[in-house]
Every structure is written in structure tokens, then in C-alpha cells.
Amino acid sequence: MSSNKMSRRKFIATVGGVAVVAGVSGGILYEVFRPKLITELPRHVAPNAYTQDGKSLLSIVKGTSDTNVETMVREALDAIGGIDRVVSSGKRVVVKPAVLNNQPYVAPDPHVVAEVARLAMEAGGTVVVAECSGGGDTSYCMQVQGITSAVQAVGATVRYLNTESQIQIAVPNGVTLHDVKTFPTIYDCDVLISVPRLKRHFSPTPTVTISLKNMMGVVPLSEMNRFHNMGLSQCIADVNTVMKPNLTVVDATYAMARSGPDDGDPIEMDTIMASGDPVAIDLIGAQKLMELEQQHGIPTSDYPDYTNIAHINAAATLGVGTNNPDNITIVERNLS
């Protein structure tokens, strides 16, 4: 008499290694499903499009509390050559804001995110604003921060990455990571734009959370936890080799000083920064944050100098960008 039951061994063979036995709990067999490993790099991984004479271009636009934020974003992008250096007709664009949770000044200003999305659409891109929050429900956090409504108002799509299936991609040049899980929206995009707020990070490392660390939000929570257990700084650098943003726009209208990534002191800077080099913009952003804290009497002795931040230097070593100030051309504009 034949049986319709499938043996454990046959089940695993049938799925071709996609499912692996993880163990037995309470006498019940359970499996862990692993996506098939993808070895091809995402299409958006490309050389820095914003260079001049072999140096990374970086803009710093300074305004006042009365300056239109959208104007500042446009000026910052125009100063390095415009968004159309990376976005053109038909390109699938992901704008990735850093939305840790729903607390004030944790996420970038929704007007900054929406303007980046609008400019990308104006350049012909099909734009999705996407995030996977590490400190709360992504949908709730994006809505409370005002990003969902601001983005929808300009006609872009909002996508909560934690609702997607996961894919696993190889990290061929990783020091600690050799593979990482991400989401189809991120893997399939042609252009990835990072939009963080300039913030302090209260731990020995990484000490700032700007563009490089924003890529923590393109992986699921399980991977975020893995990064912390394996050595966060190197994992941030490793993941940026396969999820490197083509463009970064930093919201420093208010910077979070003293502590972070939440519960810090919001200090008005009235500044927008932009670059195609996430390492360079993190380096200069860290410098500006330290200078701001010193101006306001906030002790910075607990943090390493901006030239000695582990994940920034590790990313430079892996070729993600440059941490050498001599290889960075800074274009400054004052709108005040």
C-alpha cells in the first residue's frame, strides 16, 4: 500500500536545497527557507558618476530657517551636475530615506525626500520610495514621519520593504559578509538614492549614521541583527559593496548631535549636502557634525576623530569611495 507522505530526506531533495533542516523543537520538525543565492551584482552598482578631474564631487548648500528646503535640494544637486547624471527616462529609481522609528528628527525631512523623488521623476525615472525600519513598523513610522503623504503628493510610490519576499545575493568582496539578504525592489532598481539625516550614533562604532549606515535599511531585521553580532562596522562596509547608492542627499537642516540614532539634540544647520560618493559624504558629514557639536559646547571626546571612524575607513578600503580629503572637491553655495 503506497503512502502519500513525503520523507524528510525526499522533501529536502525536492526543493533542491532551498529548504534546509534547522532542527527539532518540541518533537516537531521545522525548516528554514533560504532563497537561492544570486551571484550577479545589482544593476545600480556602478562607478561614481559625480566626479571632476578624478575627484569625488560633494556639495554643501547653506541656507537659513526661511530658505525653501526644496530650493536647497535642487541647488545641492545642481552643484554636482544634476540628478540626470544618474537618472534618465525609463530608469527604475529607489529613493531610500533613513527612517529608524517614529521619533522626531530621526528621519529626514519629508520635504527633502519628496523633492528628491520629484526631481528623479522629472528626469524620467519611475520612482519608488522604500524603507525597512529597524526600530518599529515601517508603514507606521513612514506615515508618522510624514514621508508617505509627502511622497504620494508628488506622485511617487511608497513601498515598505518588510512586506516583500527576501532574496539572497553574494558579497564577493566582503571581509565579514559573503552573502546578504535583501529585497527585490532594491536588487532590481537601476538607481539607488540614499537620503539620510545627519546624525550622531551613540556607541563606540560607527559613531555617525549617515549614508553608509542607511544601507542597513535595505536588508531585513534578521540581517540587521546578524550585522550587530558579526561586527557592525565591517558589515556596513561590506554591504555597501553590493548596495552602494549612486547618489546621496543628506538632510542637515537639523542635525542630531550628542546622541543618536534617536534621543539626541536636534540642532539647526540649514544645510543640504549631496554627492555620488557615500564614503566622502560620510567623512565630510562627520566633520561638520563634530564642528557643530564643538560650537554648541557638546563634548566630542567620547568619539573618535571624523578621520578615524571604523565603517567609513573600512568602506574606503573596499573601494566604495574615498576617505582622502585631497580626493574630494567640495562645492559650497550660500543661499542666505
Taking residues 161-169, report their average pLDDT: 97
Cα(129)–Cα(136) distance, integer angstroms? 17
pLDDT at 13: 34
Least confident of 32-41, 115-124, 153-162, 283-292: 32-41
Helix, strand, coil percentages for the chain (3-state, nearest 5)? 35, 25, 40
The grid cell for 198 is: 545627519
pLDDT range class, residue 206, cuts 50, 70, 90:
low
Q: What is the DSSP letter of 225?
A: H
- For the segment 60-74, the average pLDDT, to the nearest whole number, is 97
- Please name the residue that has the C-alpha cell 567609513: 312
Residue spans of the domains in the chain: they are 36-334
Q: What was the pLDDT predicted at 11?
A: 34
pLDDT digits 0-9 by tens, 177-191: 999 999 999 999 999
Amino acid letter at 100? Answer: L
pLDDT at residue 83, as a whole number: 98
Does residue 276 carry a pLDDT above 70?
yes
HEC profile of 93-140: EEEEECCCCCCCCCCCCHHHHHHHHHHHHHCCCEEEEEECCCCCCHHH
Q: Tell me what pLDDT residue 172 has.
A: 98
User: Closest by alpha carbon to 103, among 259, 288, 271?
Assistant: 259
One-character DSSP codes across 153-173: HTT-EEEEGGGSPPEEEE-TT
19 backbone dihedrals φ, ψ, rounded to 5°: -110, 135
pLDDT value for 275: 98
Tell me if the bond preceding 261 is cis, omega within 30° of 0.
Answer: yes
Specify the pLDDT at position 301. Answer: 81
- What was the pLDDT predicted at 336? 83
Is the per-residue pLDDT at 6 higher than 60?
no
Average model confidence (pLDDT) for the chain?
Answer: 91
Residue 231: beta bridge partners? none
For range 151-174, the mean pLDDT = 98
Give the torsion sign (CA, 92, 143, 118, 153): positive
**Residue 156 in contact with residue 127, Cβ under 8 Å?**
yes
CATH number, domain 36-334: 3.40.50.11440
* pLDDT greater than 90 at residue 285: yes
Model confidence over 52-65: pLDDT tens digits? Answer: 999 999 999 999 99
Q: Is the pLDDT of residue 23 over 80?
A: no
Of 161-170, 173-182, 198-207, 230-239, minimum mean pLDDT range:
198-207
Question: How much is the pTM?
Answer: 0.90
The reported pLDDT for the residue numbered 24 is 43
User: Under a CB-based contact definition with an 8 Å cutoff, are residues 260 and 200 in contact?
Assistant: yes
Confidence (pLDDT) at 33: 56
Q: Read off the pLDDT of each residue in 279-308 and give the average, rounded to a whole number.
A: 93
Does 247 have pLDDT greater than 80? yes
* Residue 238 confidence (pLDDT): 98
Instruction: Give residue-wise pLDDT tens across range 108-139.
Output: 999 999 999 999 999 999 999 999 999 999 99
pLDDT at residue 331 is higher than 90:
yes
pLDDT bin (cut points 50, 70, 90) of residue 268 is very high
pLDDT at 70: 98
308 pLDDT band, cuts 50/70/90, is very high
Enclosing H/E stretch for 230: helix 221-230
For position 19, what pLDDT does the model report? 40
pLDDT value for 8: 37
Does residue 127 contact residue 117 with C-beta atoms inside 8 Å?
yes
